[in-house]
Structure 1
Amino acid sequence: MEASPASHQIIAELLAEHTGQHLNESRRWRVASALSGVFRQHGISNIDQLVCLLGTPSQRGSDQDIATQVVEALLNNETYFFRDKPTFDQLPDQILPAIAARNANRKRIAIWCAGCSTGQEVHSLAMLFEDQKERWKGWDIDILGTDVSHKVIRTARNGLYSQFEVQRGLGVVQMLRHFDETPDGWQIRDHVRHITRFQQHNILSQPPARERFDLVLCRNVLLYFDQPTREEAFRRIASAMAPDGFLMLGAGETVVGQTRELVPSPGRASIYERQKTAASRLARDPALASR
């Protein structure tokens, strides 16, 4: 049964209100299938019935209310370890050494993974540091993962993944080095988890920490925002970055034409900087502009 346009609009407004995501026509075809679990849980069969339940006062006011279930069911939580490896490889080869050089005195690096989903990106970063632990001995490394979904944050904190999940992006050596196989799945080891933390957070809210971040990863999150919301998200991200910090977006994303706060980092794919920082660097080395 095809849902009424009014019901689709109510669902779209609910998603936008809670996450900022825009449920355009190209995404509406998957709404019913994404909500199938919510339908089963509440003994209904379509979106129109769901909208009726959303208007029931007794269903509001808890973390497990129907509105929360609907929003979390509609979120795209696709992620895997070391996603977009050529882009990710820039971190140990270029970005982290650049951050280390300027933070040499205080020996601290703060990283924020916004829209971290079930935690694979955060744990991938932690593995990079663990694989170079002699290089980072004596450094204070803090990797914060945030997501609007309570459900995926719980999964990320648990650090327990299925065989399928660990095989996406990880080699056998990495699996054996950083995970323990258990009857319930593959558990990430404490030597990786100790520099990570997770919290529920909406990217459109105030930044999740008072400290400025040396590196922010926000990959394949802003794709689902309309232009005004995307501009606001970039403003929030830029305000959370250290003056000379870096931002990594997904391979299909860019700041160009989206914000005046950030510009591409010369010679680096999917890496961006605060505008003033990039301009200062180009002034010191004009050859960067041709890279």
Structure 2
Amino acid sequence: MDKTWTSAADAVADIPDGATVAVGGFGLCGIPHDLIEALLDAGAGGLHVVSNNCGVDDGGLGVLLAAKRIVRTTSSYVGENKEFARQYLAGELEVELVPQGTLAERLRAGGSGIPAFYTPAGVGTAVAEGGLPWRYAADGSVAVASPARETRLFGGVEYVLEESVRTDFALVRAAVGDTDGNLVFHASARNFNPLAAMAGRITVAEVERLVPAGELDPDAVHLPGVFVQRVVAVADPARKRIEKRTTAPSATTATTTETGN
């Protein structure tokens, strides 16, 4: 079955207001920026997003956040985004913080048909005991707090019950994909992408290189096409933003500095 779509805009056009959307990426690494921007242009709002983080102020999911299209996010890390902090503290955004490994397993479990699982992560903390502020009121009080979770002993060790995640849609990015939806990711850009793809009922993948079905070595496939319903080639494969550029001083600078001292 050929799963290719002609454009990112067409591939996300049916995402409605209020949809739940799992989004791959870690920081700005491996984010499906074409699909995110297409979703912004499509105008869908009231979105419930599940992603490791929510982009930066002017990139990734941050563009949807700035446009007030996201009302709730389930994430592990929410730094690097001042607008995120402002909306959260002002009571405009609901935030469910989840330990990073737990979030990864919640997505994987959802895609594997596992409704819930026990984990030791979070035992003895507000993750298990409840009370984490999910949403603030305008006056700064807590409007919605996280509930207490069920715990249970296994072999004398306490574990907390976590429910899996299934979303209406998932948006991911891969280095290579074929027309059947099989995906190959590059190095650390794999991050949350396969897990987000598994969790989505309709998964849309943007790929830097699109190849015919049968061209990929089956042993090289990181995510089988059974988890992907739509594939679209990115407009500019070379477009990749660096979140924080850190460079070492050049030899000339180092010499000049040493001489100056």
> Under a length normalisation based on structure 2, what TM-score does the superposition of the two structures give?
0.34
Scaled by the length of structure 1, what TM-score is found?
Answer: 0.31
Higher relative strand content: 2
Q: Select the structure that is richer in helix.
A: 1
Greater relative contact order, per chain length (Cα 8 Å cut-off, separation 6+): 2
